[in-house]
């Protein structure tokens, strides 16, 4: 095998965001762009020599090409072995599991998650460390530093490898093991859940619709729900991963999964609906006529996880990202277990999970997961819900009503203002930041601010500090708003406004969420001078 050392120069802007490096696909396809980032990653972890990695992606446009480049670079950098999914496919949770199962030195996951795919859409690369989780900030900083100092990368001169068949091959002295992307993940799920109970539920006529949104979870959901658990053929739809996800955003929320939503809200809906995102780490849960917010889903799962085999001895704690609603905190309090609040992004849960401090984690953006891997896991959340329903023999709506009657309801919604010019978005945040201390005691649209701050996190395990993680505003009457800028977008800035209003157990829980949140929405828009800065009066996406 001939190794080429190619001279290169640092490329600006290769700073990983909330979840890896995400850019327009054409940017990634530019000369040296992917290569620089991969070399920087290897350099940042002390080289790839004699190391083993998992490589795979969500199948989007450029996935297959990028994997060939990564294999050739890994070989040239002296890696000893690569485990890769057949045809280059691996969901993010499956990749996390494989890293742990085979005790590899980490993995490279190719995905821009819920962002659309295609030559004019988005691509991304994420490095996960040996615990199976997204690289923590210390590692992503080191990668970024390397991208700014790079002067060459190494790549093997070789033809493309055939990744279409399971088996072993070699590239120079590096072994390449092509595996079935689903099998190990399926075994893991079978070890956590009571599959017999779920089988009985399906056999009793309980029907499901799982919408894979033409993304990577299709083959996993087909094999598990239809294959192993006996859901009727056709329960999993849009199950073949497409390079452009059929032209949509593979984002499991009521906006992008509207086909599923329409079905679930119709008179003739299945008992249970679910969807997952591009790389399979997110989930959306819908009951007959009722959408479950991700924040509520986390709380319900925390309160009921003990009904599933893998969690029968209880939870050590629950963690949520800061913008996620307080619903799961109420469960943790009742259970007498730790509840932790972390910045946005799964990488902040890793230390808490590794240390055994928490068992379940979740984010308002439709990510839920547990200590079974170190990523959020879409299908896992679906199976845990099904396991709970199979034991409780209640509908999704009944489980939710029950939950609210016990704990109260945290009305919740996220409003996204997309493609705002970056300088405008930054000015809005700067302005808000400069007024934070004055806000307390002021009233906006009749709502009085009881407190305001900017979230900063000190990791209790390694002591690292992450600042400027979002602005929090609490209002009298148990309402909260959070404002932060997205770290996964590829065009301008996306301002996320997270709105929350608590209604205690004895209150009315059947209000429409947007109506219940209207006062806090108006107050927040007023307070942050939304229209003055952005000219916008309404968000682009409401979830
Ligand atoms: C978004 C979500 C965040 C999630 C991240 C990656 O980040 O808000 O909760 O962890 O995407 O998810 P941001 O910075 O755009 O708000 V995924 O499924 O893209 O790996
Ligand atoms: Co994702």
Domains in the chain: boundaries:
2-179, 185-407, 409-542
Are 153 and 72 a contacting pair, CB within 8 Å? no
pLDDT value of residue 386: 98
Nearest ligand atom owner, CA of 213 = 2
Superfamily grouping for domain 2-179: Alpha-D-Glucose-1,6-Bisphosphate, subunit A, domain 3 (3.40.120.10)
- The full 3-state SS of 255-287, as one line of letters, equals CCCHHHHHHHHCCCCCCEEEEECCCCCEEEEEE
pLDDT above 90 as % of the chain: 97
State the average pLDDT over residues 71-78.
98
State the average pLDDT over residues 426-432.
97
CA 519 / ligand 2 centre spacing (Å): 32
Q: What are phi and psi of 58, to 5 degrees?
A: -90, 5
CA 543 / ligand 1 centre spacing (Å): 14
- Which tens digit of pLDDT belongs to each residue from 501-531? 999 999 999 999 999 999 999 999 999 999 9
State the average pLDDT over residues 43-61.
97
Confidence of residue 267 (pLDDT cuts 50, 70, 90): confident
- Which tens digit of pLDDT belongs to each residue from 276-298? 999 999 999 999 999 999 999 99
Residue 19, pLDDT above cutoff 90 = no
Domain 185-407 and domain 409-542 have a common topology? no
Are 119 and 65 a contacting pair, CB within 8 Å? no
pLDDT value of residue 224: 98
Instruction: Return the residue matching tokens 């002591």.
Output: 463
pLDDT value of residue 487: 86
Residue 537, pLDDT above cutoff 90 = yes
Instruction: Identify the three-state secondary structure at position 160.
Output: coil
b/e burial code for range 247-286 (CB count within 10 A of at least 16 → b): ebbbbbbbebbeebbebbbeeebbbbbbbbbbbbbbbbbb
Does domain 185-407 bear CATH number 3.40.120.10? yes
Q: CA 123, CA 157: separation in Å to the nearest integer?
A: 25
pLDDT value of residue 493: 95
pLDDT value of residue 492: 87
Closest atom of ligand 1 to 366 CA is 9
pLDDT value of residue 480: 98
Closest atom of ligand 1 to 346 CA is 10
Q: CA 145, CA 141: separation in Å to the nearest integer?
A: 6
Indicate the average pLDDT of the chain: 96
pLDDT value of residue 211: 97
Nearest ligand atom owner, CA of 112 = 1
Cβ neighbours for 169, distance < 8 A, ≥ 6 positions apart:
161, 162, 175, 176, 178
State the average pLDDT over residues 94-108.
98
pLDDT value of residue 216: 97
344 lines ligand 1 (CB under 6 A): yes
pLDDT value of residue 327: 98
Q: Tell which phi-psi region holds residue 280, choosing left (phi > 0), alpha (psi between -120 and 50) or beta.
A: left
Confidence of residue 490 (pLDDT cuts 50, 70, 90): confident
Residue 35, pLDDT above cutoff 90 = yes
Cβ neighbours for 132, distance < 8 A, ≥ 6 positions apart:
96, 97, 99, 100, 107, 373, 374, 375
- Residue to mutate (ligand 1; options 111, 279, 344, 484; most atoms within 8 A of CB): 344
- Which tens digit of pLDDT belongs to each residue from 154-171? 999 999 999 999 999 999
Q: What are phi and psi of 452, to 5 degrees?
A: -155, 140
Instruction: Return the residue matching tokens 């700014």.
Output: 148
Q: Is 313 a catalytic residue?
A: no
Other Cβ atoms less than 10 A from the Cβ of 192: the count is 17
Catalytic residue, candidates 19, 113, 295, 365: 113
CA 324 / ligand 1 centre spacing (Å): 12
Superfamily grouping for domain 409-542: Alpha-D-phosphohexomutase, C-terminal domain (3.30.310.50)
Helical axes 378-392 vs 396-407, angle rounded to 10°: 90
């Amino acid at each position: 095998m001939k190794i080429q050392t190619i001279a290169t120069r640092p490329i600006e802007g290769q700073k990983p965001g909330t979840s890896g490096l995400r850019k327009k696909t054409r940017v990634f396809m530019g000369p040296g762009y992917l290569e620089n980032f991969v070399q920087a990653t290897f350099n940042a972890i002390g080289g790839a020599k004699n190391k083993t990695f998992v490589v795979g992606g969500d199948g989007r446009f450029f996935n297959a090409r990028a994997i060939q480049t990564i294999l050739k670079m890994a070989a040239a950098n002296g890696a000893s072995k690569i485990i890769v999914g057949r045809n280059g496919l691996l969901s993010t949770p499956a990749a996390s599991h494989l890293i742990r199962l085979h005790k590899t030195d980490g993995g490279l996951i190719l995905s821009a998650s819920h962002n659309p795919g295609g030559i004019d859409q988005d691509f991304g690369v994420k490095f996960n460390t040996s615990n199976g989780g997204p690289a923590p900030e210390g590692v992503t900083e080191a990668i970024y530093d390397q991208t700014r100092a790079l002067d060459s990368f190494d790549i093997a001169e070789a033809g493309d490898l055939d990744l279409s068949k399971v088996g072993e091959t070699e590239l120079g002295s590096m072994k390449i093991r092509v595996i079935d992307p689903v099998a190990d993940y399926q075994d893991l799920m079978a070890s956590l859940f009571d599959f017999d109970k779920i089988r009985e539920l399906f056999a009793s006529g309980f029907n499901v619709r799982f919408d894979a949104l033409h993304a990577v979870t299709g083959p996993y959901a087909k094999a598990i729900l239809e294959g192993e658990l006996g859901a009727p053929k056709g329960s999993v739809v849009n199950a073949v991963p497409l390079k452009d996800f059929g032209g949509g955003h593979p984002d499991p929320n009521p906006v992008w999964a509207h086909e599923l939503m329409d079905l679930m809200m119709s008179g003739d809906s299945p008992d249970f609906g679910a969807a997952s995102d591009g790389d399979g780490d997110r989930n959306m849960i819908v009951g007959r006529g009722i959408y479950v917010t991700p924040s509520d889903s986390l709380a319900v799962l925390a309160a009921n996880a003990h009904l599933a085999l893998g969690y029968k001895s209880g939870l050590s704690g629950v963690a949520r990202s800061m913008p996620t609603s307080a619903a799961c905190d109420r469960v943790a309090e009742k259970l007498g277990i730790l509840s932790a609040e972390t910045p946005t992004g799964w990488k902040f849960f890793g230390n808490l999970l590794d240390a055994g401090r928490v068992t379940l984690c979740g984010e308002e953006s439709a990510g839920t997961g547990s200590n079974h891997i170190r990523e959020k896991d879409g299908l896992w959340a679906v199976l845990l819900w099904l396991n709970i329903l199979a034991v409780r023999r209640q509908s999704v709506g009944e489980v939710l009503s029950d939950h609210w009657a016990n704990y109260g309801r945290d009305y919740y919604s996220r409003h996204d203002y997309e493609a705002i010019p970056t300088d405008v978005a930054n000015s809005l945040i700067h302005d808000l930041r400069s007024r934070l201390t004055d806000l307390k005691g002021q009233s906006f649209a009749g709502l009085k601010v009881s407190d305001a701050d900017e979230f900063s996190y000190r990791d209790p395990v390694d002591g690292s500090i992450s600042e400027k993680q979002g602005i929090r505003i609490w209002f009298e009457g148990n309402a909260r708003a959070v404002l932060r800028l997205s770290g996964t977008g590829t065009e301008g800035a996306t301002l996320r406004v997270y709105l929350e209003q608590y209604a205690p157990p004895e209150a009315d829980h059947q209000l429409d969420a947007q109506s219940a949140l209207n006062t806090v929405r108006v107050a927040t828009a007023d307070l942050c001078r939304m229209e003055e800065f952005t000219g916008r009066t309404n968000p682009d996406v409401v979830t």
